[in-house]
Amino acid sequence: MNEEIHNFSENNLKLNLGCGKDIKMGFINIDYEEKPGVHLDIIADLSYGIPLESSSAEFIYSSHMIEHLDWIKGANFLQECFRCLESGGQLRLLFPNFKKIMTAYVSNDFEFFSDIIDYLNNDYLYYQTMVDNPKEIIKYRKNNMPPSWHYSDNADDRRKVKLRARKYKYMIECIDWFVHQYGEHVALYDNEMIKGLLKDIGFKDVQFSKYNNEIDASNPIRVKTTSYITAYK
C-alpha cells in the first residue's frame, strides 16, 4: 500500500486510475509519473494500492492499465478498487480485447489490422528520428519536450527507443505489440477472467459494456480493440 493516504473533503469522488495523459475534469487523476505537459492530482504507484480512504469514491475509471500489472498485482488492484468504492459505487474498467484481436488473426483478417499497422507506423516515424537524429526533435520540440528517456544516452533508454522504431508490416507484429507493448504489458486478461475476479472480490453486478463517447478515449484503434466492463459494489 502507498504510505501516504490522501484525504479529500468532497464526497462522491471520481477517480481516474493509471490515467497517463488522459486527464479528466472533475476526477482525481492518478498515475505513477507525470508526463510532459500533464499535471496529476496524485502521483502514486497503483500496483501497491490506491492512496485514498476506504469507501471514499462513487466512481472509478481505469483504462488500459490492468494489463500492465501481473496477475497478483492485477487482482490486488481490483480489490483496492472495491475497497475505495462506496456502497453502490461503480467501476468502469477497460483493457485489450484479446479474444477479438486473436480471432481476427486466426481468421487471417488483414483488413482488421491494416489501420492498426498505419497507426503504429506513425510512432515509427517519430522514434526512427529519435534513433537517427534526436537533436532535431529536441530543437523542434524545445517548448514541448518529450520524455527525457527518448533522447537519453543511457543504454537501456536507447534500447527502448529502438524497440519503438519498428516498421510494422505483418499481422503477427500487431499481435506482438498488443501482448507485449515493448515489455510494458505484463499479463493477459479477458472478459471471463475479469468478471470472475470482480465477482470473487464481492462486486454485486458485473456487466459487459460498450464504448461511451462521454468518457472513453475516441481513438478508433482503441475503440475497436477494447473490452469494456462495468461493475457495481
Could you tell me the residue ranges of all domains in the chain?
13-95+190-232, 99-183
From the CB of residue 50, how many other CB atoms can be counted at a distance below 10 Å? 26
What residue type is 10 in one-letter code?
E
Of 14, 13, 12, nearest to 215 (Cα)?
14
Q: Which grid coordinates are listed for 4?
A: 501516504
CATH homologous superfamily for 13-95+190-232?
Vaccinia Virus protein VP39 (3.40.50.150)
pLDDT value of position 186: 96
Whole-number pLDDT of residue 9:
54
pTM, two decimal places = 0.91
Judge whether 199 and 206 are in contact, CB under 8 Å: yes
| Chain centroid to CA 202 | 24
| pLDDT recorded at residue 35 | 80
Contact by Cβ (8 Å): 15, 59: yes
CA distances from 63 to 7, 75, 133, 135 (A): 24, 16, 33, 33
The full 3-state SS of 170-206, as one line of letters, equals: CHHHHHHHHHHHHHCCCCCCCHHHHHHHHHHHCCCEE
Mean pLDDT by 10 residues, the chain (233 residues): 58 92 95 87 95 95 98 97 97 98 98 97 92 83 83 92 95 97 95 98 96 94 97 98
DSSP class of residue 210 equals: -
State residue 212's pLDDT score: 96
Question: Residue 86 phi/psi, 5° resolution?
Answer: -75, 165
The upper half-sphere exposure of residue 125, i.e. CA atoms within 13 Å in the direction of its Cβ, equals 5
Helices (H), the chain: 71-84, 98-106, 110-132, 134-140, 155-164, 171-180, 191-201, 220-224
pLDDT at 143: 77
